[in-house]
Amino acid sequence: MLTSFRNLLDKSILFISSFALMLLVATVTWQVFSRYVLNDPSSWTDELARYAMVWLGLLGASYLFGIKGHLAITLLDGYLKGKANIALQLLINGISFTFVSLAMLKGGLALMGRTTQQLSPALQLPMSTVYSILPISAVIILIYLALNTLELFCKSNKNKF
């Protein structure tokens, strides 16, 4: 059941990330075309491309947590075996959980609250909409951390039998 939930979450993130990538390519292509062919650069494409890139980057980082491909220092991981390695992974997950909860979730929600009335210059979007990717990606990362931690406990219980 957890595997099917993880697969659904993975596919959803990849779908949204693919859309953001296509949007990024389309807006940059239109910007280049309008600037060099039409000699009339579009004012909104640069801003939309920037926001799509931020969303793509944070969704990609969230996905990396899911596949355990995020940046990690593996010096101790190679030396520790068994329960010591599981304890290290739990410590890493705990530190990651704390950082994501405080910096991305709490900080992202505070940033959204402060920028609700602020509009982006070209698109006239509320900046809170742009910044909403911080708490969204934080929740995704926290879900993946919970799934990874559950997986650690399942592996440690299998080793006992």
* Residues 34/40, Cβ–Cβ less than 8 Å: yes
pLDDT computed for residue 159 by the predictor: 57
pLDDT computed for residue 16 by the predictor: 95
pLDDT computed for residue 161 by the predictor: 41
Kindly report the three-state secondary structure assignment for every residue of the chain: CHHHHHHHHHHHHHHHHHHHHHHHHHHHHHHHHHHHCCCCCCCCHHHHHHHHHHHHHHHHHHHHHHCCCCCCCCHHHHHCCCHHHHHHHHHHHHHHHHHHHHHHHHHHHHHHHHCCCCECCCCCCEHHHHHCHHHHHHHHHHHHHHHHHHHHHHHHHHHHC
Residues of the chain where predicted confidence (pLDDT) is lower than 70: 73-75, 156, 158-161
